[in-house]
Amino acid sequence: MKRKNRLEKGNSKLINAWASYDWANSVYPLVISSTIFPIYYSAISQDIVTIEFLGYDFKNTALISFVTAMAFVVVAFNSPLLSGIADYIGNKKRFMKFFVYTGSISCMGLYFFELDSIYMGMMFYFFALIGFWASLVFYNSYLPDIAHPEQQDFASARGFSMGYLGSILLLILNLSMVLQPDWYGITGTPLESSLKAMKYSFITVGIWWGVFSQYAFYHLPKGNSEGKVTKDVLWNGFLELKKVWYQLDKLPILKKFLPAFFVYSTALQTVILIATYFGEEEIVWASSEQKTIGLIVSIMLIQIVGIFGAYATAAASKRFGNISTLVVVNSIWAVLCIFAFFIRTPLEFYIAAGGVGMVMGGIQALSRSTYSKLIPETSDTTSFFSFYDVTEKVGIIIGMSMFGTIDQITGSMRNAILFFVILFISGALLLSRIPNNRLGK
């Protein structure tokens, strides 16, 4: 039965409902990708020189980089396939739900992650990552459906800010569980109880993600049309990507924006995915307890500062234009990477974390809203955002593969940082070719 109270495009309640999915899903990149899981993974593998996986011996951080890259290969291939079908049958919400629940259940499955069961653990890690990133294809594609062009910068920033706030709240709970497990009745030696608490944290992420997604699911529209899936439309998503590719000749600004986005997003997403592993391995901590607290506090600092950074970037784009703002933000990222190459102390790591927070959410939110404004008026928004998503994911595959290779060969994650400097500078130069027409003003 169709709902009669469907909210109209531009309605603040609809925009808030859309943004609430960031509140729901951001606990995954914060707790699983950035803090608790990297600390847990490093703790259970720190005394092992190499990990045998699929018949090969890997450095622990290189292994997680390669598994991450493989997961993104699956995401990059499946996104156009599924989004094309979703656009055709007009029910992208159904696909979004599928990946949300896949990711949510897989996060809870990480409770069973152990080196003795490395294949099962990596399977849950693999599918949690796929669930998160695949759901974002459909979530991002809703932006032009729920907000007018002049609303999209701040709607996008609102989503990232809500994500930062929600994920911080859960991380505080998880942090208290890890540092004071006895408060929650978690027993064992200090190390055993902390590791148990980390495993319980994975369960809280899955529950949070699944439960808080319901508000967005209730208000987001089903889709734009009605149809049935047949063999003729099975590969519709790839055909849609081909159409988008050919349309780029008629969209010169978008055609210039996408290569720039590809280059700097390769660096951006890889840095986000490996930051905690870098802090765990390359920073000199006084003790394992200080390391655990320090890494979690630094990520929390990034999230808190990121709330202000996302809105500051949106305000800057309104005054100076989207493209000029992105050029400056890419330049700041390049400087931060140069600084990161030399840091060794916790204080320096905190300073870098604060700088990252100021530009991390801002560049993501502004990139999303800029792309949304550059695509033409169409009912097939998922196809355009699938193209955006594939561009981003191919960049991550290359970034994580390059990072893992450099890390595996040289034995140091620090050497890979210089690779990111080149990418951010190149991204800024590519963006500078685009006329700054102050999108959204």
Span 371-388, pLDDT tens digits? 888 887 755 566 777 788
To the nearest 10 degrees (0 to 180), the angle between helices 346-374 and 149-179 is 150
Phi-psi region of 223 (alpha: psi -120 to 50; beta: other; left: phi over 0): left
Within-domain flag for 436: no
Residue 42: which of 269, 408, 295 has the closest Cα?
295
Instruction: Give the CATH number of the domain where residue 355 resides.
Output: 1.20.1250.20
Within-domain flag for 439: no
Within-domain flag for 437: no
Residue 147: which of 326, 381, 323 has the closest Cα?
381
Cβ atoms 340, 275 nearer than 8 A:
no
Within-domain flag for 3: no
Within-domain flag for 362: yes
What's the one-letter identity of residue 173? L
The whole-number pLDDT of residue 290 equals 79
Cβ atoms 231, 344 nearer than 8 A:
no
The whole-number pLDDT of residue 1 equals 42
Q: What are phi and psi of 284, to 5 degrees?
A: -90, 105
The whole-number pLDDT of residue 440 equals 44
Q: Quick one: average pLDDT of 351-380?
A: 80
Within-domain flag for 102: yes
Total-model pTM? 0.73
Q: Quick one: average pLDDT of 239-245?
A: 77
Query: Which two tokens mark 109?
Result: 């499955």
Give the tens place of pLDDT for each residue, 76-135. 777 777 766 666 666 778 888 999 999 999 999 999 988 888 888 889 999 999 999 888
Parent domain of 278: 12-226+234-431
Total of domains in the chain:
1
Dihedral sign for Cα 328, 358, 220, 7, please.
negative
For the ranges 166-170, 246-250, 434-438, the lowest mean pLDDT is seen at 434-438
Task: Indicate the helix (H) or strand (E) that contains 51.
Answer: strand 51-53
Within-domain flag for 39: yes
What's the one-letter identity of residue 425? I
Within-domain flag for 66: yes
Highest mean pLDDT among 47-56, 313-322, 370-379: 313-322
Highest mean pLDDT among 18-27, 37-46, 291-300: 18-27
